[in-house]
């Protein structure tokens, strides 16, 4: 699919219109942000109990399963939850607390795999079906429950959107997932996610607040300055002014979620980039994904990113461990490879991406230490960091009970 030029602001307009985002989004303000939100245990506890415990959370996608009759597990440290996700023979996805009903033993210890004939607790042998039903209790005659229907696995409210698996632990009646996703969900309602394969996974443990990590990815202001990898690999791909500073082409709030884009209209791939990128064409080549811009960055509130770079999709999940530690999960998706050259190309792209992430990790941890130092009680944001400001407004709104902006 070709890029729809008429829907993108011209690069000249982007360069000339200084501080355009604060004028267009006055509700976001332009003042500094307190560092307390990155270092305070009390702030984190409120996020844990009033945000993560009540909203929809993305656990991954159907690509994390191995097809029908498979499962994966996940430990959500932020909520002290152990989760078992299953897919039955008909493709229905369910989630349960990964806890045996007998005495609370962790049921499945493997990360993922094919479903066994039954999920069997390795402590006392209680067994469960893929739909959570308890099917066997050794020496059952000695127990006092009425029947096995009382002792199945505890289900978790689960919904699948465009192949992505979401859960909520809200004890209240939550908005359904479609309502939570709002305009962002509408935009991707018919997105051809099925043509993308999950090819690479990186999990990075960082000593940084989860919002510090999101913020650093939620802008491109750092790209021309962060050296050596970012500066070398960006190769002028983003819209930039005469001084080389990056500019956003577009930014929008989509309920609690956000989106930004940036593309240089004069960008040209180098001969080397063209050679290695044939399996993942970005500019000036066949667009397989129905996008207005070949680079789009979306934050799905609260802790997921879904972004596109040419025909590649990368997703992030930022999993808080405590107020100063996060696990950053990165997943790279590509269309099915057709040739050996495609495989070589995406292998190169994945390794280049990995090198960028290593540089980012160091930055995240350095920012965290700076905030914890107490040198200043606040941070400053420029107009080109509007998406960061919007993200923090979404967090604050949610904590104040505002669900749909």
Report the pLDDT value the prediction gives residue 341, as an integer from 0 to 100: 80
- Kindly give, in sequence order, each residue whose CB lies less than 8 Å from that of residue 58, ignoring residues fewer than 6 positions away: 164, 165, 166, 300, 303, 304, 317
Cβ atoms of 334 and 199 within 8 Å: the answer is yes
- Do 5-54+196-399 and 56-168 agree at the fold level? no
pLDDT digits (tens, 9 = 90+) for 136-151: 999 999 999 999 999 9
Distance of alpha carbon 193 from alpha carbon 304, whole angstroms = 16
* Whether the Cβ atoms of residue 282 and residue 352 lie closer than 8 Å to each other: no
Strands (E), 88-195: 93-97, 112-114, 119-120, 127-128, 134-136, 155-161, 164-168
Asked if residue 390 has pLDDT above 70, the reply is yes
> What whole-number distance in Å separates Cα of residue 148 and Cα of residue 133?
8
Tokens, residue 66: 């191995």
Contact partners, residue 267, CB within 8 Å, separation at least 6? 235, 236, 237, 283
Given CATH 3.30.70.360, say whether it is the number of domain 5-54+196-399: no
pLDDT exceeds cutoff 80 at 323: yes
pLDDT band at 3 (very low <50, low <70, confident <90, very high): very low
Please tell me whether the peptide bond between 151 and the residue prior to it is cis, using omega within 30 degrees of 0: no
pLDDT tens for each residue of 332-381: 999 888 888 888 888 888 888 888 888 899 999 999 999 999 999 999 99
Q: How much is the pLDDT for 98?
A: 98
Residue 185: partners with Cβ closer than 8 Å, 6 or more residues away: 161, 177, 178
Query: In whole angstroms, what is the distance from residue 280 CA to residue 337 CA?
Result: 9
Give 2's pLDDT tier (boundaries 50, 70, 90). very low
pLDDT digits 0-9 by tens, 99-129: 999 999 999 999 999 999 999 999 999 999 9
Residue of 214, 193, 354, 364 whose CA lies nearest to 298: 214
Ordered by start, the domain boundaries in the chain are: 5-54+196-399, 56-168
Other CB atoms within a 10 A radius of the CB of residue 84 amount to 23
- Using CA atoms, how far apart are residues 301 and 329, in angstroms rounded to an integer? 16
Higher-pLDDT residue of 324 and 277 is 324
Place of tokens 């050596």: 228
How far apart, in Å, are the Cα atoms of 184 and each of 209, 267, 313? 26, 28, 16
pLDDT of residue 190: 86
- The yes-or-no verdict on residue 132 having pLDDT over 70 is yes
Residue 402 vs residue 378, higher pLDDT: 378
- Please give the average per-residue pLDDT across 266-280, as a whole number: 57
Give the distance from CA 235 to its chain's centroid: 25
Domain spanning 56-168: CATH 2.102.10.10:
yes
Cα–Cα nearest to 152, from 93, 102, 81, 92: 102
- Convert the pLDDT of each residue in 326-341 to its tens digit: 999 999 999 888 888 8
Q: Of 16-20, 69-73, 305-309, which range is least confident?
A: 16-20
Within 13 A of 182's CA, how many CA atoms are on the CB side? 14
């Amino acid at each position: 699919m070709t890029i729809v030029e008429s829907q993108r602001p011209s690069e000249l307009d982007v360069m000339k219109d200084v501080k355009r985002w604060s004028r267009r989004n006055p509700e976001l303000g332009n003042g500094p942000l307190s560092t307390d939100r990155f270092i305070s245990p009390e702030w984190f506890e409120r996020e844990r109990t009033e945000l993560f415990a009540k909203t929809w959370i993305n656990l991954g996608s159907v690509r994390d399963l191995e097809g029908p009759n498979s499962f994966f597990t996940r430990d959500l440290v932020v909520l002290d939850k152990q989760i078992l996700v299953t897919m039955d023979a008909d493709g229905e996805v369910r989630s349960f607390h990964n806890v045996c009903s007998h005495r609370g033993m962790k049921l499945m210890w493997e990360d993922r795999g094919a479903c066994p004939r039954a999920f069997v607790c390795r402590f006392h042998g209680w067994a469960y079906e893929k739909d959570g039903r308890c099917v066997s209790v050794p020496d059952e005659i000695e127990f006092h429950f009425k029947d096995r229907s009382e002792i199945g696995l505890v289900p978790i409210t689960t919904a699948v959107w465009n192949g992505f698996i979401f859960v909520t632990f809200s004890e209240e009646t939550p908005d359904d997932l479609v309502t939570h996703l709002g305009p962002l969900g509408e935009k991707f309602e018919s997105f051809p996610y099925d043509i993308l394969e999950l090819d690479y996974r990186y999990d990075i443990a960082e000593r940084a607040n989860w919002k510090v990590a999101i913020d650093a990815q939620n802008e491109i202001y750092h790209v021309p300055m962060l050296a050596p990898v970012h500066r070398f690999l960006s190769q002028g791909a983003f819209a930039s002014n005469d001084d080389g500073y990056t500019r956003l082409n577009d930014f929008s709030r989509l309920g609690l979620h956000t989106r930004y884009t940036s593309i240089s209209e004069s960008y040209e791939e180098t001969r080397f980039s063209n050679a290695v990128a044939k399996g993942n064409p970005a500019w000036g080549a066949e667009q397989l994904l129905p996008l207005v811009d070949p680079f789009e960055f979306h934050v799905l509130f609260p802790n997921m990113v879904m972004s596109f770079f040419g025909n590649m999709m990368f997703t992030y999940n930022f999993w808080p461990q405590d107020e100063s530690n996060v696990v950053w999960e990165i997943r790279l998706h590509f269309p099915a490879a057709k040739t050996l050259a495609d495989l070589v190309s995406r292998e190169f792209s994945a390794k280049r991406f990995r090198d960028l992430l290593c540089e980012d990790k160091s930055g995240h941890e350095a920012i965290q230490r700076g905030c914890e130092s107490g040198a200043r009680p606040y941070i400053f944001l420029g107009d080109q960091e509007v998406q960061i400001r919007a993200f923090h407004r979404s967090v604050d709104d949610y904590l104040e009970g505002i669900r749909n902006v």
